[in-house]
Amino acid sequence: MVAEVEVFDPIQQTRFTARTVEIGANGCYVRVDTPLQRNTVIQVQIKRDGGTFKSWGRVAHAQEGSGMGIAFFRPEPNHEKTLRGWIVDLETEEKRRVTDQVPVQKI
């Protein structure tokens, strides 16, 4: 899932916007040339299709020039529903894509 993500580091007082390329119930991967250091605690806000998901996060892994994996923790309670909805939409979309690619056998 590609979506806009805003990352805020409250300790360094830095904020930047990037794009997610993967998302799941426990975290996401953000494409950014200069990722934050591993274990940095951040706030994330992801926006997609008019919905917003906000959570605290921790940089789980980082690759210079590529991006960083963020593990979510303590998401905003009313935002968890938004994230679950996005995941259901992605799963439905993937099933549809797989079904469309399976050739139909004629008997």
- Alpha-carbon distance of 62 to 44, in angstroms, equals 16
More confidently predicted of 45 and 107: 45
- Alpha-carbon distance of 82 to 80, in angstroms, equals 5
pLDDT at 107 over 80: no
Map out the domains of the chain with their CATH numbers: 3-101 (2.40.10.220)
At 8-61, the pLDDT tens digits run 999 999 999 999 989 999 999 999 999 999 999 999 999 988 889 999 999 999
